[in-house]
Amino acid sequence: MPLNIEDFDMFATPAFAQAAGGGFAGGLGGFMPLILIFGIMYFLMIRPQQKKVKQHQAMVAAVRKGDQIVTAGGLIGKVTKVNTDNEVEVEISSGVKVKVVQHTISQVLNKTEPAK
């Protein structure tokens, strides 16, 4: 029994139907889930991270002599000198002073009052 091409017409019809239509509205509708996912990621991940970075920069900029700090490496010490080239001199023990890059300060434990 030979095969006729007419037997395969029913398989070709859905393929032609899928290619029809489209246009600008159909293409934009396909991108809507991606736009929605990016919007959700912005408000749940990117924006809070930017806020945290700004808070850290403000904290580091406000460090002054006498503050007790914690560095990213886990050292706890008292600030003895703030240099203008993004360095801070920290006393970690009596007579032991180390220079620390300002941006490695992870936390300020005790804030000193500014001199009046």
Q: Where do the domains of the chain lie? A: 9-58, 64-110
Closest by alpha carbon to 92, among 104, 107, 80?
80
pLDDT at 25: 57
Is the model's pLDDT at 8 over the cut of 80?
A: no
Q: Tell me: the pLDDT tens digits for 21-53?
A: 555 556 677 788 889 999 999 999 999 999 999
pLDDT in tens, 87-103: 999 999 999 999 999 99
The CATH number of the domain covering residues in 64-110: 2.30.30
Q: Which residues pair with 74 in a beta bridge?
A: none
- Residue 74, by phi and psi: left (phi above 0), alpha (psi -120 to 50) or beta? left
Whole-model pTM: value is 0.64
d(CA 37, CA 101): 38
For residues 34 and 106, what is the distance between their CA atoms, to the nearest angstrom? 36
- Cβ pair 81, 100 in contact under 8 A: no
4 or 19, which is more confident?
A: 4
